[in-house]
């Protein structure tokens, strides 16, 4: 349909990327964090988007550059104060993305109590794969993977999420209106890795989609 | 010109609101913070925008709702790795805005080392005045004011900024591309106030512009 085709341009249509931190318990453990009692939200702005064929670049002076593979949920219509029971009606499709993170910037910000903006929202910090039609994926039961230079580093089923997609949409839209084309990144499983220049990152959803990027 | 007219629609054209914290020394003191050594950056997303005639609403369960009057700088063209000396060429106009803040959410986030997103980017968190042509304002020497229920609470000249506009644009664009219509909020002077339902907020730039909003 025209609508689905247009939503495939979510990068141009959308206004923001709302991200969830620590939404898989094994990842919270590897970072040494307690499990969150409510969704931990932050944002990437659209300058973060990167499509295949373009290099991922660490921001200036970053010394610990890491990837986080995440299921992306694409919002189809204006969403405010959405009830959990109706939340999936606001989902128009999916993608898979990397939440690229300047981990040293993030640790410094957390220590100082300052914002995460530069740690998370620098240019090229959100490499994405193609749009996935909403009928072609079960977001509650699919397997995310990420390989660095051919070696498997992340592999986990989305059924391990702490806060599921309807819970996230209901929580976020109490505070923040979501628009058509906005992207929700639902958190990463364990296995984040310190990257080096030249590394190849393959990531995707098993049997559904895959993308490949390189670190400049 | 057509260009200036179109930039007056910066709320629709732009993709983000990049904000600077603690950019006036008296405000840093009133919050009990040390002066920053580099610009402290965070972001509001476009759901934050609010125009006159619409009520400002505190987010659910906020118990300390505060206003921060700030000079807004509107970006006119794509800006990446801009040098300080050329930074003003990327400015297309100005506005004056409130950086509405759920101070209790912000303090909790700072204490926990978590992001500021919900403290700063909830719906209605960025009430704005009209577009100001770039030739009608000297951003290095103008007086911001804010009155609550007719009582003056904030009044300060922009010449008290710690990091000036060219420094901010040069710093930000090392990390983050700015797009036409993006808004840069340059920080608030001292005098932030805890607000109550029904409060009237008048704010502006002396002899240049004024806007009036109410807290729901
Ligand atoms: Mg993440
Ligand atoms: Mg001075
Ligand atoms: Mg502020």
Span A120-136, pLDDT tens digits? 999 999 999 999 999 99
Question: Which of A12, A23, A43 should we substitute to test contact with B (largest number of B Cβ atoms within 10 Å)?
Answer: A43
| CA distances, B26 to each of B70, B109, B191 (Å) | 14, 22, 9
Beta pairing, strands A65-66 & A101-102: antiparallel
A177 touches chain B (CB under 8 A): yes
pLDDT at B3 over 80: no
Q: What is the CATH number of the domain that holds B180?
A: 3.90.850.10
Of B30, B61, B72, residue with least CA distance to B192: B30
Question: What residue of B is the nearest CA neighbor of A44?
Answer: B43
Across the interface, of B80, B110, B176, the residue whose CB is closest to A121 is B176
- Taking the CA of residue B61 and the nearest CA in chain A, the distance in Å comes to 10
Across the interface, of B116, B121, B178, the residue whose CB is closest to A176 is B121
pLDDT digits (tens, 9 = 90+) for A35-82: 889 999 999 999 999 999 999 999 999 999 999 999 999 999 999 999
The number of domains in chain B is: 1
pLDDT digits (tens, 9 = 90+) for B59-77: 999 999 999 999 999 999 9
> Of the ligands numbered here, which is closest to the C-alpha atom of A17?
1
**Rounded Cα gap, residues B169 and B165, in angstroms:** 6
pLDDT digits (tens, 9 = 90+) for A85-132: 999 999 999 999 999 999 999 999 999 999 999 999 999 999 999 999
Across the interface, of A15, A116, A178, the residue whose CB is closest to B115 is A116
ipTM: 0.96
Instruction: Say if the Cβ atoms of A118 and B41 lie within 8 Å.
Output: yes
Question: What residue of B is the nearest CA neighbor of A79?
Answer: B47
End-to-end CA distance of chain A: 37
Across the interface, of B109, B110, B118, the residue whose CB is closest to A175 is B118
Say which residues have a Cβ less than 8 Å from residue B107's Cβ, sequence separation at least 6. B64
Domain that holds residue B28: 2-214
> Of the ligands numbered here, which is closest to the C-alpha atom of A184?
1
Question: Which of A44, A114, A126, A178 should we substitute to test contact with B (largest number of B Cβ atoms within 10 Å)?
Answer: A114
> Of the ligands numbered here, which is closest to the C-alpha atom of A119?
1
Cβ-based contacts under 8 A for chains A and B: 96
**In which residue are the tokens 């005045």 written?**
B129
pLDDT digits (tens, 9 = 90+) for B125-177: 999 999 999 999 999 999 999 999 999 999 999 999 999 999 999 999 999 99
**C-alpha torsion B8→B12→B15→B17, nearest 10:** 60
Instruction: Say if the Cβ atoms of B16 and A122 lie within 8 Å.
Output: no
Rounded to the nearest angstrom, the distance between the alpha carbon of B50 and the centre of ligand 3 is 16
Q: What are phi and psi of A73, to 5 degrees?
A: -115, 125
pLDDT digits (tens, 9 = 90+) for B85-129: 999 999 999 999 999 999 999 999 999 999 999 999 999 999 999
């Amino acid at each position: 349909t025209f609508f689905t085709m247009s939503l495939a341009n979510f990068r141009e249509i959308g206004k923001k990327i709302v991200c969830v931190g620590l939404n898989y318990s094994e990842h919270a453990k590897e970072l040494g964090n307690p499990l969150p009692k409510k969704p931990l939200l932050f944002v990437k702005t659209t300058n973060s988007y990167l499509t295949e064929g373009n290099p991922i670049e660490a921001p200036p002076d970053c010394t610990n550059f890491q990837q986080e593979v995440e299921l992306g949920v694409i919002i189809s219509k204006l969403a405010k104060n959405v009830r959990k029971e109706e939340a999936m009606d606001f989902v128009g499709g999916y993608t898979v993305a990397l939440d690229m993170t300047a981990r040293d910037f993030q640790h410094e910000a957390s220590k100082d109590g300052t914002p995460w903006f530069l740690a998370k929202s620098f240019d090229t910090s959100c490499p994405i794969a193609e749009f996935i039609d909403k009928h072609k994926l079960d977001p509650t039961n699919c397997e995310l993977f990420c390989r660095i230079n051919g070696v498997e580093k992340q592999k986990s089923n989305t059924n391990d999420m702490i806060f599921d997609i309807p819970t996230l949409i209901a929580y976020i839209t109490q505070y923040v209106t979501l628009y058509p084309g906005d992207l929700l990144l639902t958190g990463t499983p364990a296995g984040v890795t310190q990257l080096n220049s030249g590394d190849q990152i393959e990531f995707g959803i098993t049997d559904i989609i895959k993308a490949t990027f390189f670190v400049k």
